[in-house]
Amino acid sequence: MNFSNKTSRVFGKIANKAFPHIIQTFINRLYVYVFKIDMSEFEKPCSYKTLNALFTRSLIKPRNTDAKPFNLISPTDSLIMEQGALKDYKALQIKGMEYSVLPFLGLSDTKEIESIKDYKFINLYLSPKDYHRFHAPCDLEVLEAKYFSGRLLPVNKPSLLKNKDLFNINERVVLKVRFSYNKEIAYYVAVGALNVGKMSFSFDVKIKTNAKFGDAIYTYKDCFFKAGDEIGTFEMGSTIVLIANMLFAKDAQDTIKMGQELALLNKNS
């Protein structure tokens, strides 16, 4: 196990420790202050029994969303770090830093590879201040989940600029999904990062991340989500990468809230 994974596991144990209430409240309030977290949609900091419970906080009430049959809403509160068209099956982790999406997605089937040649990508970066749950960007069906073990390097801007092929190095869970609107296949990828000791998924407790057993593939039948439904949770910040046939509704470097319109879908003829 490499240093970043060990660090993340140690941090995870500390973050899950429940300190006496007065100490825990101080820790929670300090974290909120340091990272300038807007808690208006969440419980008060003193109500969380561990730091991890604060990281993975849920909304007090569901958000109104901009979901329509023909669009994608943002699955996260995040920064659109980068977006663009795939070029020779390559995407940008950040400007000037390309990586191949074929190993990223674990694609080897010729038909699957050919089907994504005109797709686009969006990288959504969650910082430590952000709400850490991720949601369905539209009505969809989850067909498959692939877990790729790997490192847990930071996914912030300095690390993206420094580490070549970071998205192919870091651990990740690749969801192969089918959009209900046009029946097209797309990919929804949760990328692990430093101090993300765990990524959990609401539809399958068997998916274990930062794990010792290596890669795994899970397949599903009738695993449906409506736009805005919760899909999973990051512990600390990370990145969601969407790879799909879509038209952008926002620009790179825009900040976006979960539920706001992110992209438009093409209607399948």
Contact 128, 236 (CB under 8 A): yes
Question: Measuring CA to CA, which residue among 102, 130, 127 is closest to residue 116?
Answer: 102
pLDDT-based confidence at residue 11 (cuts at 50, 70, 90)? low
- Averaged pLDDT score across all residues of the chain: 91
How large is the average pLDDT for residues 155-160?
Answer: 92
pLDDT-based confidence at residue 36 (cuts at 50, 70, 90)? very high
CA dist., res. 200 & res. 147, Å (int): 12
pLDDT-based confidence at residue 6 (cuts at 50, 70, 90)? low
How large is the average pLDDT for residues 234-257?
Answer: 94
pLDDT, tens digit, for every residue of 96-143?
899 999 999 999 999 999 999 999 999 999 998 999 999 999 999 999
Q: What is the pLDDT at residue 1?
A: 54
pLDDT, tens digit, for every residue of 187-208?
999 998 876 558 899 999 999 8
Per-residue pLDDT at 3 exceeds 50? no
Per-residue pLDDT at 232 exceeds 90? yes
Half-sphere exposure of 108 (CA within 13 A, CB side): 1
How large is the average pLDDT for residues 53-59?
Answer: 94
Contact 169, 151 (CB under 8 A): yes
- Which residues are designated catalytic? 77, 135, 238
Per-residue pLDDT at 154 exceeds 90? no
Whether pTM > 0.85 for this model: the answer is yes
Q: What is the pLDDT at residue 197?
A: 57
Per-residue pLDDT at 31 exceeds 60? yes
pLDDT-based confidence at residue 269 (cuts at 50, 70, 90)? very low
Which residue in the block uniquely carries the two structure tokens 């007090």? 60
Q: What is the pLDDT at residue 137?
A: 98
Q: What is the pLDDT at residue 266?
A: 85
pLDDT-based confidence at residue 170 (cuts at 50, 70, 90)? very high
Contact 170, 153 (CB under 8 A): yes
pLDDT, tens digit, for every residue of 82-109?
999 999 999 999 988 999 999 999 999 9
